[in-house]
Structure 1
């Protein structure tokens, strides 16, 4: 458990964790050993000379004071270390997620990461602050107390020691019985999180279909499954709790019977027997708490294992000796990319000169967006190479590569902040004049002028308080402010009204001027102005050339052009 915790946290946190564990162990050990002082105290009190107990009481009080100091230091260290670990874990998780391939985030990862980043991290890091001290106390204090009993009477000590493997076996069997139920509950938690996110995102569809007041069956099923899994998890833990309680009570009863036998046989006096039984009684409470502590730790261990799995997911490798290209022409050389069993890109060969403009068109699912993403190295290709300035993108440092590229997506995500701060994401150190110039070029200033709070307008989560066209203008202004030499555009006008489309087109023209541009579009008037057009289908380039060349060819592109019903004078 501790090794797993340290692996998840990283080497920089090992020292404070080990120090905290050492303090907790010392406090628990002193607590158990201090009970040895109760034996002479009780002997003196029962012998008819109570005054003889005073020195032993003073010694016991001193031991308790030292124990209290150690326990305070251990608990304080646990809370402080837990808080530091919580911050560190969030930073480490966030930094790691930014280095994972974009393809990793598919397949229900949103629910998994949201659960981990919420309750998962809190529960895992709560081990140090809340759960480790009770576990150490429940383990070390009884063992120290057994050592004390052994010192006073080896027969009763051996009887107490015989209970240790029985308690360990009860804990082990309890853990095995609960493991499957706990794992199932964790799976249903992620499923419920996924369905909750789906339900929220599906609100426009549900309301458009007149089903906004109906229960969402998939979410209901997931929540009911979570309820059943939680019940099974609780029931699975019950035999372990009862088994531990029975084991502890049986051990105490055995000591009581053995002690009575020894006392009746005259081999131990009643006062000493009473003292040892008091010590044995004091052991039962921490041992019985093992059931609760063990269950909490198993749950925390499950979260730690899931965090560990995420942190062990291979990030995109950084080059050991990064190369900085001195130009910005682009090339795809035999690029192949697979997603599972499906080949998304199959031997793509394309090139874009420095300052040139390439349009990629084709049917849905042809691999257009994937080709664009490979340029930004959102994932590594399985074969071939993607080059910027003649350099494979895998040989360029990630920060350097992203500094050279501005991306405008079809689905724009804005952070829950002001319009100005969302634009400044392109270049946080830009001055006010640069921000205003980028806004004017993207015609975002028209949007800002009609908003009551102007630049200070909050856009809401994901930009929900702005229209699609307004979000696109913010995105283009952000890209203009970044002033990168390479621009990637992915269906940026696919769902805009004519007014917003004209404004966004004007912004794109300003953004594209003098830069190397690759744009994915299904709007033929947008593609026709590119220097070169590639028609992609089934992950392959089936046609490539200028607009006029492809029309004369009379192939797939020409068919798309005719289907778009573009007036002949535009051809």
Structure 2
């Protein structure tokens, strides 16, 4: 498990982990060896000169003091190393997630990662701080005590030693028998977490349908499965728990009986028998705790394996020798992109000269948004090449590539903070005048003026305290502040009311001025502002030209306009 932990975190953490393990092992050894002093102490106390026990009592007290100091140091090292590993894990996981392709984040994956980043990481990293010390103590201290028993009486020592392979076999068998049940329970836990989130997100729909008094069947079924899986997991672990307790108690009883026989036969003194029985009893407690510790370790190992799987997922490769584009024209050359078994973009070629505005139009599912994602290298193409300024996006450093784009999506996500903090995400080092100018150009200043807290207004998680149009204005202000040479727009006005749509259109005009623009659009007001229009169907460009030329052509684009854009013609 330590090997997997270091693989997950990186070997730069190997030294503090090994130091902590060494300290915990030394602590367990000293604890076991200190009990060896009980034999001469009890021998002196039960002998003819009890006062002779004082030197041994002092030695025993000294050993206990050394153990206490080592325990303090090892526990501190465990907590310090654990917190360091936790911080390092979050940093590494966050950096890795930021480099994974957007296509990796499907709906199920988001719930999985959210659970893993919260409870999963904490459980996995709790090994060093909370589980490793008791586990090492439960293994090393009894073995040390058995070695002490062998030194004082080989018969009783061998009897205790015979229990080691039996207990090890029980633990191994328990781990194997519960592995499948534990994996099922963890899977059901994650599914139930997703259902709870779904239930909360579905409240508007449930209430609109008058179903607030009904039970949410999907959630109920998921929780029932969690209960069944937990029950199966407990039943699978029960034989191991009972078997471990039975084996420990049996060995202790055999040692007790053997000690009584040896004492009655005169082979050993009463003091030695009593001391060895005290040592045997001291072995029992940590051994009995192995069931609980083992279960928690298996849970931590499962989370660690899931974390390892995520971190082993290959991110988009970075170029060994990145190239800096100097122009801002865009090009798709025979691009093919597949998502699963479906070809989303098939052999498409397209060029956008610097400073030109291109509108991408087509039916739902045609691959319009995918073109924008390929430009920003949210995915890598399966065939062909996507170029910015004549340079393949795969040859451009990710930070340099993203600096070329100002992106405004239809669904705007704002972080839980103030309006100003969300706008400054576009360019954190911008001065106040630049931030205010961007807000004015996006007509965000109108929103700020009517909010009591103004710029300091907290937008809530996801921007929940602002309307859709207000969030879109923040997004445009953020893009304006970034001042990137290429603008990507993805149906930014599709769900806005007329007032906000007019304001957003004005902001977009400021954003597009003098820049290379690719916009996914379906409203005539937006499409008419493009220098050129391409009609996309089934991942292929079927028509290409100006808006007026394509209308005169009377083809797919004209039919699409007549069917879906005619009601918006007055715009």
Q: TM-score range by the shorter chain?
A: over 0.9
Partner of 1:33: 33
Specify the alignment match of 1:121 in structure 2. Answer: 121
Corresponding residue for 1:537? 537
> What is the deviation of 1:236?
2.0
The equivalent residue for 2:186 is 186
For 1:359-508, what aligned pairs fall within 5 Å after superposition? 359-508=359-508
Q: Give the Å deviation of 1:24.
A: 0.5
Question: How far 1:129 moved relative to its partner?
Answer: 0.9
Regions of 4+ moved over 4 Å: 567-571
Aligned to 1:97: 97
Cα deviation for residue 569 of structure 1 reads: 9.0
Query: Equivalents in 1 of 2:311, 2:568: separation in Å?
Result: 56
Q: 3-state DSSP class of the match of 1:514? A: coil
Provide the rounded CA distance (Å) in 2 between the counterparts of 1:165 and 1:568. 80
Task: After TM superposition, give the deviation of residue 202 of structure 1 in Å.
Answer: 2.0
Q: Does the 8 Å contact 1:469/1:500 carry over to 2? A: yes
* Inter-partner Cα distance in structure 2 for 1:206 and 1:335: 43
**RMSD of aligned alpha carbons:** 1.5
Scaled by the length of structure 1, what TM-score is found? 0.98
Mean Cα displacement is larger for which, 186-195 or 431-440? 186-195
Distance 1:54 1:527, change over 3 A: same
Are 1:448 and 1:454, in contact at CA under 8 Å, matched by a contact in 2? yes
Deviation (angstroms), 1:206 = 2.1
Q: Distance in 2 between matches of 1:211 and 1:499?
A: 34
Aligned to 1:237: 237
Contact 1:110/1:194, CA 8 A, preserved across alignment: no
Deviation for aligned residue 1:349: 0.7
Please tell me whether the aligned partners of residues 403 and 484 of structure 1 are also in contact (alpha carbons under 8 angstroms): yes
Contact 1:521 1:527 in 2 (8 A): yes
Residue in 2 that maps onto 1:336: 336
Query: 1:554: which partner in 2?
Result: 554
Check the 8 A contact 1:524/1:564 in 2, yes or no: no
Q: For 1:496-535, list aligned pairs within 5 A.
A: 496-535=496-535
> 1:239: Cα distance to partner?
1.4
Q: Secondary structure at the match of 1:543?
A: strand
Q: Work out the CA distance in 1 between the residues paired with 2:342 and 2:565.
A: 33
Aligned pairs (5 A) from 1:25-424: 25-424=25-424
Of 538-547 and 475-484, deviating more is 538-547
C-alpha contact (below 8 Å) 2:149/2:276 kept by paired residues: yes
Question: Secondary structure of the equivalent of 1:462?
Answer: helix
Take 1:351 and 1:556, find their aligned partners in 2: how far apart are those partners?
21
TM normalised by structure 2 equals 0.98
Question: Is the contact made by 1:485 and 1:515 (CA closer than 8 Å) also made in structure 2?
Answer: yes
Partners in 2 of 1:565 and 1:238 — Cα distance?
66
Q: Work out the CA distance in 2 between the residues paired with 1:446 and 1:191.
A: 44
Structure 1 residue 546: Cα displacement:
1.3
Write the distance in 2 (CA, Å) between the matches of 1:520 and 1:374: 13
Change in CA separation of 1:479 and 1:44 when aligned onto 2, cut-off 3 Å: same
Name whichever of 445-454 and 12-21 sits farther off: 12-21
Gaps of 5+ in 2: none
The number of residue pairs the alignment matches comes to 571
